[in-house]
Amino acid sequence: MAHIALYRKWRPLTFEDVVEQHHIVTTLKNSIKNHTVNHAYLFCGTRGTGKTTLAKIFARAVNCQNSKDGSPCNECITCKGILEGSLLDVVEIDAASNNGVDDVREIKEAVMYVPAVTRYKVYIIDEVHMLSTGAFNALLKTLEEPPSNVIFILATTEPHKLPATILSRCQRFDFKRITISGMEERLALIAEDSDVNADKSALRLIARLSEGGMRDAISLLDQCIAQGASDITYELVAKISGLTAAEAINNFAGAIINKHSSVALRAIKDAMDEGRDLIPLCNQLIDWFRNLMLYKTGGEALTLIDLDQEELDYIKRASDLITIERNIEIIIELSEAEARLKWADNPRIIMEVTAVKLCSDLPQNTDVNDDVLDSLSAFEDRIRQMEEKVGLIQSGIKIAPEGPEKNVLPRSNSHEPGNKKDNSGKESEKDQASGDSKNKKTAKDRQRIKEKKSKDKIDIKFLDNWPQIIERAASKGNPMMHAFRANTKCTITDDNVAYIVFPPDDTRKKTLSSAKHIDPIIEAIKEVLGVDVTVKIVDENEIIKITSLQTENARSEHRNEISGDNADPDLERVKTLAEKNGIPFDIKD
C-alpha cells in the first residue's frame, strides 16, 4: 500500500476528532440535530485550522443515515460513498483553477437537478476569494436562493477579498489558530501511534513553528519521523526546520547584550557554514528579545512567554544586564534587518552590520538623509542672514562685528578735513574729550543692548507631569511607550501644539513619529491636562528655533500695536535687524 502523508491519515472524520474550534463544532452539530441547516456557509481562517476538514464532515453529517449526536457514522452507504469520492452529490471545487464565469455557470445548471442518492447536494468551494468579479456576480442569485436540497460551503483564507454581497448571503464562521497545547496533545498521540519517542520540548518547538496551523505541525512531525531516528529531539527538529540550536541563539543574544561583536560575528559565520538561512536566525533573535521584554515588563505579560524552564532561566539571568529601553531598540533594529534580509543580494553583510551596530555604541537607525537636510537648512539660514546684512550695508547702515571687538587705529592724515591736531601731532583736548564722550555713549548703548538681550532670553516651560502622561499612554496597551520616557521633555504652546523634545541625534525620534505611538500620547494629554493638542516630534535645537520664532513674532505684533496702523513693515524689519546686530536705530516721523 502506498504511503499516506500523516496529515491525510490523521484528518478528523467526526466532529469529536476536530482539534479545538469548539464554537464552530457546537453550532454545526446543533443545526443538524435541530434541522436548522443553512443554505450557505462561509469558513474563514488561516491555513491548517480545519476549514476543509469541517466542511467534509458537515457534508457527510447532513446526509448520514445513522447520525450520532449530529456527527456522521462513517459506516452507512452514504458516508462511505462520500469518503471514497464515488458519490457525485458532494462536489469539492478549487476556485483557484476554476474561477471563471463559465465554471460558475456549470454550477448553476447542476443545482437544478435533485441529488441522486443523498438528502442534500453539497458544493464545497475552496479558496473562494480567487473567483473573478464576473464569477462572483454570476453566483449571487444562486447563492441567495438555491434549491432547498442544495448547500454551499465556501472556504477562504482571505475573507476581506470577498464582495459584501457574498458575505451577506452566508453564515460566517471564523476559525481560530490552534493553540500550542492543543497541537502538542495531538502530536503526542500521532507520535505514539507511529512508535516514535518524541521529547516534549521537540513537540513544543514543532507547535511553535507551525504558528497555529495543525497541518503544518503534522507535516513537520512526519518529516522528523522520516529521518529514521528512534527519538525525536529538540535538536533534530531545529536541524530539519532550518533553525539554529537554542544554545547558539542564547550565545548570540548574550553577545549583543554584553557587546561582544566578535562572538556575534562568529555565530553568524557558524550559521552560514551549517547552511542556515539568516532570516530564521534573525527571527529567532527577535523572538528571544521579545520574551526578554515580556519578562522585564512583568505582570500579565509573563503569561505570554512560551518557554520551557531551561530557556526561561537564561532569560532571567540576562534580564539584569539590560534595560527595557535598550531591549526595545534591539528588537526594532533586528526587525528592520529582517525586512532588509528578504531582498538583500548578500544577506550575510546585512546581518553582520546589524550585529556590529548592536554590539557597539553606534547610534541605531541613523538616517543620513536627515543629517544632510539639517545641514542644508542651517546653510540656508546662514545665507539668508548674510543677504539681510548686505541689504543693510547697501542702505548705508554699518553692521556691528559678531566677534569680540578689535582695536582699530584711525589713520593719521593732516590733509583730511576735520582732523585737527596741534603742533606736537596730537589731537586737541576738545576733540579728545568729544571722542571720549562718544566712546562712553557707545559703551552705554552696548550695555543697554546686552541687558535687553538678557531680558529677551527664551525661557521654555516644560511639563512637570510628563512622566505621568507617558505612563498613561503606556497603559493603553502600548508598553513600548516606556522607552520614550527617559531624556525626553514636552512643552505645549499657546496654539495647542505639544512639542515632544528629544536630545540631538536621538534615534528614538524616528520611531515615535508613527501614528500608533502619537495617538496614545494625544489621548493621555487630553485625560491628564484636559486639552486637545496636536503632537510634533523635535529635538532640542529645533525647539529653541521654534520658540525663538514664536517670541519674535509676538514682539513684532506688539510693536505693530504700539506703532498703529500707519507703521511701515519694512522699517520695522530693518529696526529688528539693527537691534540684533547691536546698532542704535530708531524710527522717527
Through-space distance between the first and last CA atoms of the chain, rounded to whole angstroms: 112
pLDDT tens-place string over residues 70-82: 899 999 999 999 9
The CATH number linked to 133 is 3.40.50.300
What's the total number of domains in the chain?
4
The CATH number linked to 515 is 3.30.300.180
Give a yes or no: residue 339 inside a domain: yes
Pairwise pLDDT comparison (484 vs 375), residue with the higher score? 484
Neighbours of 264 (CB within 10 A): 25
Give a yes or no: residue 449 inside a domain: no
Give a yes or no: residue 584 inside a domain: no
- 285, containing H or E segment: helix 278-297
Co-location of 219 and 164 in the same domain: no
What number is the average pLDDT over the span 363-371? Answer: 46
Distance CA 37, CA 570 (A): 83
Q: Is 70 exceeded by the pLDDT of residue 95?
A: yes
Domain that holds residue 67: 6-174
Residue 44 sits at φ, ψ, to 5 deg, of -120, 145
| Structure-block grid coordinates of residue 2 | 502506498
Q: Does residue 52 contact residue 154 with C-beta atoms inside 8 Å? A: no
Co-location of 167 and 189 in the same domain: no
Q: Could you tell me whether strands 489-492 and 497-502 are parallel, antiparallel, or unpaired per DSSP bridges?
A: antiparallel
Q: Which domain-ending residue is among 330, 358, 386?
A: 358
Distance CA 293, CA 303 (A): 13
Mean pLDDT of the chain: 79
Strand partners, 197: 231
Co-location of 185 and 284 in the same domain: no
Co-location of 80 and 169 in the same domain: yes
Residue 78 C-alpha from the chain's centroid: 52
Co-location of 148 and 262 in the same domain: no
The pLDDT of residue 38 is 92
Q: Is 80 exceeded by the pLDDT of residue 441?
A: no
Q: Is 70 exceeded by the pLDDT of residue 22?
A: yes
Co-location of 228 and 254 in the same domain: no
Q: Give the confidence band of 185 by pLDDT, cuts at 50, 70, 90.
A: very high
Q: Is 90 exceeded by the pLDDT of residue 299?
A: no
Global confidence as pTM: 0.57
Distance CA 48, CA 338 (A): 25
Query: Residue 60 burial by CB count (10 A; 0-12/13-18/19+): exposed, middle or buried?
Result: buried
Distance CA 420, CA 500 (A): 63
The pLDDT of residue 42 is 95
In the block, cell 482571505 appears at 158
Give a yes or no: residue 576 inside a domain: no
Co-location of 143 and 37 in the same domain: yes
What number is the average pLDDT over the span 195-222? Answer: 89
What number is the average pLDDT over the span 330-355? Answer: 90
Give a yes or no: residue 50 inside a domain: yes
DSSP string, 114-162: PPSSSSSEEEEEETGGGS-HHHHHHHHHHHHS--TTEEEEEEES-GGGS
Co-location of 132 and 57 in the same domain: yes
The pLDDT of residue 453 is 46
Give a yes or no: residue 400 inside a domain: no
Q: Minimum mean pLDDT among 185-199, 417-431, 439-453: which range?
A: 417-431
| Structure-block grid coordinates of residue 23 | 464554537
Q: Is 60 exceeded by the pLDDT of residue 402?
A: no
Give a yes or no: residue 458 inside a domain: no
Give Cα separations from 421 to 409, 431, 437, 438 (angstroms): 16, 9, 18, 18
What number is the average pLDDT over the span 184-195? Answer: 91
Co-location of 72 and 215 in the same domain: no
pLDDT tens-place string over residues 470-511: 888 888 767 677 777 777 888 888 788 888 888 877 777 777
Q: Minimum mean pLDDT among 39-43, 84-88, 142-146, 432-436: which range?
A: 432-436
Q: Is 80 exceeded by the pLDDT of residue 47?
A: yes
The pLDDT of residue 372 is 47
Strand order in the sheet with 497-502: 489-492, 497-502, 534-539
Q: Minimum mean pLDDT among 7-21, 246-260, 398-412: which range?
A: 398-412
Q: Which domain-ending residue is among 147, 174, 201?
A: 174
Query: Residue 579 burial by CB count (10 A; 0-12/13-18/19+): exposed, middle or buried?
Result: middle
Co-location of 170 and 185 in the same domain: no
Q: Give the confidence band of 367 by pLDDT, cuts at 50, 70, 90.
A: very low
Q: Give the confidence band of 250 by pLDDT, cuts at 50, 70, 90.
A: confident
| Structure-block grid coordinates of residue 146 | 438555491
Give a yes or no: residue 319 inside a domain: yes
The pLDDT of residue 353 is 92
What number is the average pLDDT over the span 185-196? Answer: 91
Q: Which domain-ending residue is among 308, 339, 358?
A: 358
Distance CA 272, CA 15 (A): 46
The pLDDT of residue 12 is 92
